[in-house]
Amino acid sequence: MRSEPSASVGKRVFDIVVASAALLFFAPFLLAVAIAIKVTSPGPVLFYQYRYGYRNRFFKIYKFRSMRMNASDARGVKQAVPGDSRITPVGKILRKTSLDEIPQLINVIKGDMSLVGPRPHVPGMLAADLPYEDLVPYYFQRHIARPGITGLAQVSGCRGSTIEPNRAISRIDYDLDYIEKWSLRMDIMIIARTIRREFLSGSGF
pLDDT digits (tens, 9 = 90+) for 116-131: 999 999 999 999 999 9
Q: How far is CA 139 from CA 134, 143, 161, 174, in A?
A: 8, 8, 17, 12
pLDDT (0 to 100) of residue 71 = 62
Look at strands 130-131 and 58-64 and give their pairing.
unpaired
Would 13 be classed as within a structural domain? yes
Average pLDDT over residues 57-80: 78
Domain that holds residue 164: 5-200
pLDDT (0 to 100) of residue 205 = 44
User: In total, how many domains does the chain have?
Assistant: 1
How would you write the chain as a 3-class SS string? CCCCHHHCHHHHHHHHHHHHHHHHHHHHHHHHHHHHHHHHCCCCCEEEEEEECHHHCEEEEEEECCECHHHCCCCCCCCCCCCCCCECHHHHHHHHCCHHHCCHHHHHHHCCCEEECCCCCCCCCEECCEEHHHHCCCHHHHHHCCCEEECHHHHCCCCCCCCCHHHHHHHHHHHHHHHHHCCHHHHHHHHHHHHHHHHHCCCCC
Partners of 62 in beta bridges: 48
Would 37 be classed as within a structural domain? yes
pLDDT at 105 over 80: yes
Residue 75: which pLDDT band, with cuts at 50, 70 and 90? low
Would 175 be classed as within a structural domain? yes
Q: How far apart are CA 31 and CA 20, in angstroms?
A: 16
Query: Are the C-beta atoms of 23 and 199 separated by less than 8 Å?
Result: no
Would 205 be classed as within a structural domain? no
Any idea how long the chain is? 205
Would 68 be classed as within a structural domain? yes
Average pLDDT over residues 25-45: 93
pLDDT (0 to 100) of residue 196 = 86
> Ranked by mean pLDDT, which of 5-9, 26-30, 137-141 comes out on top?
137-141
Average pLDDT over residues 151-159: 92
Query: Are the C-beta atoms of 122 and 51 separated by less than 8 Å?
Result: yes
Would 96 be classed as within a structural domain? yes
Q: How far apart are CA 178 and CA 186, in angstroms?
A: 9
